[in-house]
Structure 1
């Protein structure tokens, strides 16, 4: 990761607060629209990695697809304390399949 990039975490408050302890910037949101606005703001503010909770990712699939086509920021989906929806794992499998040419996971 290039020097100067920041890391942000966007999602519901309970799921993202622990990330503050390891030095990431955290942004609590309550709706998919708020998540969309925060992600756009972070993308314009030199964030190289944005972690997003899966519960909000499923509300804004077009935004996720948009940033998938960009070099930065990398939007990485994470499960919440409520469990995972497997959206993040499906994305990893799709990217591995694209890179390798087969589903090896």
Structure 2
């Protein structure tokens, strides 16, 4: 069986947030268009996040305005301690060694 290497990873949007113009400041047409494009990109990124997030977590982040705020909130919640990360890495190494031994033992 030949493997198909035609998989293309989708572009991951950047989570920069959208800076609003100060009240009373009049933007030029080009600046307004650029601001609207950035808002649209932000909405698309929020949509991607909402589609990928469990409903329980979704309820906690619905009050966030931008994808940057959502991302930072999730990052803070799921960052984990160093000890937890080490334990996860150790478990993955053990699983890899077991799989490696299974593959090496079959002739």
TM-score above 0.5, yes or no: no
Instruction: Decide which structure has greater strand share.
Output: 1
Query: Which structure would you say has the larger Rg?
Result: 2
TM-score normalised to structure 2 length: 0.23
Instruction: Decide which structure has greater helix share.
Output: 2
